Structure formats: structure tokens, C-alpha cells
Structure 1
Amino acid sequence: MITEWLIYPTAIAAGLLGGVIGFGTSILLMPFLVQLYGPIKTIPIIALIAIVANSARVLLWWRLVDRRSVFYFSVSAVPSVVVGANTLVRLTPQLVEICLGVFLIAMIPVRRWLAKQAKHLNPPHMMLVGAVIGYLSGIVATTGPLNTPFFLALGLSKGAYLGTEAAASLVMFAAKGLRFHQLDVIDMQAVSQGLIIGAFVFAGSTLSKRMVLALSEQTFMRLMEAVMLISGLSMLWMAVA
């Protein structure tokens, strides 16, 4: 019961965090949702919440969105996310929890490494990125931490990065939600909860715009890594508890 009441203020905070650093909304909400609905149902609920959250970021930064990069990313991400979703429904709940926790923690050093390696990308390169990210997105609740270095490597920053990454993710999560519906993983409870929680996330996202330009890059990185570590450890604890 406590968790049910906590989810709504947490959703506002998650929307604010995601609006500032480009991801984190799903990561922050995941432990609460897994406790309430279980790991399998959490994935489609997160997909619906992500659609709302990314829609808010696209609206906030619409004029700065790199549409070519979004197009190339989406071309490969949409079919890949369908393949990933098909994989998810064959996994056991405990295995999903462990995968989520390990994935989040592992993305801390991986993100740092990718940030050093991916220095110059062009929009067509995003087709390969979309294929990998799309498949992973079908299996795990969020790939925002992995998206970040690739979209930054396009030369995008702050508002342009936030809007472009959100637009690409919006297309991918829409395909993901549709596939989950076809697989009967999503039911009316998942839809209603995803939209209700998403409304609180949207409210938090609208508060983020003024904060974006005031934050330094170092603060961005600290926020991202702290959220990833805490949420990843929480998921692993729930898997073995």
C-alpha cells in the first residue's frame, strides 16, 4: 500500500530527472513497479510510461530535434524491438529481474567506454545503433544509459540531444507497446497504470526545461551514474530476496 502511494511523487521526480538528463525515468520507477506488478508486467508498463515521458521531451525541444538521425535509428530499431519482445516472453521472472539489475550496473563502465570511443558519428551510423538498442529494449525496461553516448557522439548537446533521443525512443517504444499488445503481455491494468503514472511523469518533465542549461556536463554524468547504480542494486536485491 505504501508503494502504491509512493509511486506518484516518484513519477514526478522521475519525469523531472528524465527531462534533465535524457533518461532515468524508467530506472527510478522500475523497483516500485516490479514490487507492485512483477518483472514481466513491468516491462510493458514501462513502455507506456516511456511513450508519455518521451512525448513530453519531444514537445519541449521540438525545434532542435535532428530528424535525420531519428529516421535512421528508427528504421532498424522498430524490427529489432519486435524480436527482443518475442525473447522477453520466454524468460522467467527471476531471470528478468537479474538481467535488469546486471544491465543497469554494467552500463556505468560501458557508457564511459563508449563515450571515449564514439567520437564522430553520422546519422546513417544510427541504423546499426538502432538495431542493437532496439533488440535490448525489447528485453529490458530501459536502454536510456546506452543511448546517451551515441546521440551525444552525433554532436548534439542539451536540448538537441534531449529532443532527438526522445523522438527516437518514442518511435521505438510505440513499436514495443504494440508488439506487447499482440503478445497479450499488456492488459487493461497495464494500460491504465501506465497512462496514470505517465501523467505524473509528464508533469515532472515539463518542469525540467529551465534546469537543463544550468547543469554542467559533470553534474549530468554524476546524476546518471548514481541513478543507474542505485536502481541496479535494488533490482538485484529483489531478485535474490
Structure 2
Amino acid sequence: MPEPLAAALATPGLGWLLLTISVAGVVRGFSGFGTALVFVPVAGIFLAPQVIVAVMMLTGLVSSSALLPRAWGQADRREVGLLALAALLTVPLGLWLMTRLDPVLIRWCVAVIAIVTLAALISGWRFSGRVSRPQLAGIGALAGGIGGMTGLTGPAVILFYLAGQSAAQAVRANTILFLAALDVVIVVNLLVQGAVDWALVALALVLAVPYVMTSLIGQGLFDPRHERLYRWVAYAVIALAVLSGLPIWNNGA
């Protein structure tokens, strides 16, 4: 057996990681997002932050090939392009912060931002105005910074779309396309930094197999007629991720 594959199969908690990535795949296929929100809190029990970010992005690249064809024709590619361009500029900063800041501090920051935003969404707040190009770029930049720092590439853009008036189908397509672009940006930065080795690639491929399969299952479950259900599933996924990821559950580790 090749050494990188043997190392991947010996990863602590691999069974839990495979189960979690399978659940995340169903959520991603159905809603267009949720992989990191479901996977990262559990992966943090077993893997270092640098490993989580690398594995998340590499796995995302593989899975995107299954979801992109449908999303490409339904997404607003100009809007997604601006979001991705802004994220491109802030990903290096996020990766730098990941290596410098206390991991517990990072987790608390993400939790607070997610809780406040989720509370606004559940309360019924909706943005009815038109987002300017600078504002859209700011949202993309925030997503890039948070994604590089934590591996949670989606929350800023996800919450932006869910707060708006876009149809569920458009939200799903735009989110899938943006997350795929951000995966590429982060992986390129990690490669430049020499933070990706063959063992990480092997682990990502092991996780990608069930992830792609369950993503296709989730995609088959998606029905744009059930927009209200879609929104509440999204809220539940975010809430569960925030609660499970709070540092208090592992004594601040």
C-alpha cells in the first residue's frame, strides 16, 4: 500500500470523519452549502486547523465536479465572479492569521458572528435594497478571509444570500459556484506555501468518495418549490454547527 494512503487510513477518528463528511455531502447537495459548517466542528476534534483547511479545500475541489454542471447554467456568473475576485485578495491574510492567532480565539469570533447573523435571519430580517458592487466585493473579501482562517468558506456569502430575496434555486447555484472558486483560490495559496503533501491529498481523496456520492443524493432531493423548507433547513444546519463548535465543549482546547 502506498505510504500516503496508509497514513490517510491511519488518521485518528477516520470513521467519524467519513460519517460526518457523508452527512455534509447530503446537506451540500440539497442546499448548495453546509459542508464546512457540518464537517469542521467534528474534524477539529481529530485534526489540526492547517490540516482541516487543506482537506476541506481539496475535498471540495473533487466534489464540485459533481455539482457544477447544473449550477453553472443557473448562477449569476458576473456576481459570483466579483465575489471570488474580492476573496482572492483576502485569502492570504486569512491563512496568515490561521497560523498566528490562538485557535480558541478564532473559534469564538466565528461563533459570535454566526450567532448574531443567524438571529437576524430567524427574526425575519430581510435586505430589500440593492447591493452595490463595492458592498458585494466586501462580502466576498470577508468570505475569503474567514475561509482562509478557519476553513469555513461559506458563511458570509451564505448568510448574505439567505437574507435577501433571491429564489432558492439561484441561491443554491450562486453558492455552489462561489464555493468552488474559493476552493481553488485557497488550494493554490496552500500549494505556494508548501502546506499540502501527498498524505493530505490521500486523506482528501478518501473523504471525497462518500462525499461525492452523498452530494449527488442531496442534489436529487433538492426541489425549488420548497423554498421555505430550504431556508429552515439552512438555519438548522448553521445553528447546529455553531453549537457543536463552541470551545466550551472541549474545555477551551
TM-score bracket relative to the smaller structure = 0.7 to 0.9
Per-residue Cα deviation, 1:149-171 (whole angstroms, up to 9, x for no partner): 43457764333322222112211
Q: Which residue of 2 aligns with 1:70?
A: 80
Q: Answer yes or no: is the 8 Å Cα contact 2:169–2:224 preserved in 1.
A: no
Structure 2: unaligned runs, 5 residues or longer: 1-10
| Deviation at residue 208 of structure 1 after TM alignment | 2.2
Q: Which residue of 1 aligns with 2:180?
A: 170
Amino acid at match of 1:238: N
Q: Answer yes or no: is the 8 Å Cα contact 1:98–1:239 preserved in 2.
A: no
RMSD: 2.9
Identity of aligned residues (%): 22
2:202 to 192, 195, 203: 192
Q: Which residue of 2 aligns with 1:233?
A: 243
Q: How does 1:5-84 map to 2 (within 5 A)?
A: 5-84=15-94
2:138 to 128, 144, 163: 128
| Deviation at residue 97 of structure 1 after TM alignment | 4.0
Q: Which residue of 2 aligns with 1:116?
A: 126
Structure 1: unaligned runs, 5 residues or longer: none
| Residues 90/75 of structure 1: CA separation in 2 closer, same or farther (3 Å cut) | same
| Residues 119/212 of structure 1: CA separation in 2 closer, same or farther (3 Å cut) | farther
Per-residue Cα deviation, 1:73-103 (whole angstroms, up to 9, x for no partner): 1221111112211221112343344445445
Q: Which residue of 1 aligns with 2:232?
A: 222
3-state SS in 1 of match to 2:126: helix
Q: How does 1:65-104 map to 2 (within 5 A)?
A: 65-104=75-114
| Deviation at residue 17 of structure 1 after TM alignment | 0.6
| Deviation at residue 206 of structure 1 after TM alignment | 1.0
Farther off after superposition, 27-36 or 184-193: 184-193
Q: Matched residue pairs, number?
A: 241
State the alpha-carbon separation in 2 of the partners of residues 101 and 239 from structure 1.
16
Q: Answer yes or no: is the 8 Å Cα contact 1:17–1:24 preserved in 2.
A: yes
Amino acid at match of 1:173: D
TM-score by length of 1: 0.84
| Residues 150/226 of structure 1: CA separation in 2 closer, same or farther (3 Å cut) | closer
Q: Answer yes or no: is the 8 Å Cα contact 1:104–1:232 preserved in 2.
A: yes
TM-score by length of 2: 0.80
Amino acid at match of 1:23: F
1:206 to 208, 216, 219: 216
Per-residue Cα deviation, 1:97-153 (whole angstroms, up to 9, x for no partner): 444544544442255579513543366753232122212221122142321243457
| Residues 113/182 of structure 1: CA separation in 2 closer, same or farther (3 Å cut) | farther
Per-residue Cα deviation, 1:185-231 (whole angstroms, up to 9, x for no partner): 33322222122212321111111233221663332232222222222
Per-residue Cα deviation, 1:10-57 (whole angstroms, up to 9, x for no partner): 322211111112211111111332122123321222222233333432
| Residues 48/205 of structure 1: CA separation in 2 closer, same or farther (3 Å cut) | same
3-state SS in 2 of match to 1:208: helix
Q: Runs of at least 4 residues of structure 1 off by over 6 A?
A: none
| Deviation at residue 235 of structure 1 after TM alignment | 2.1
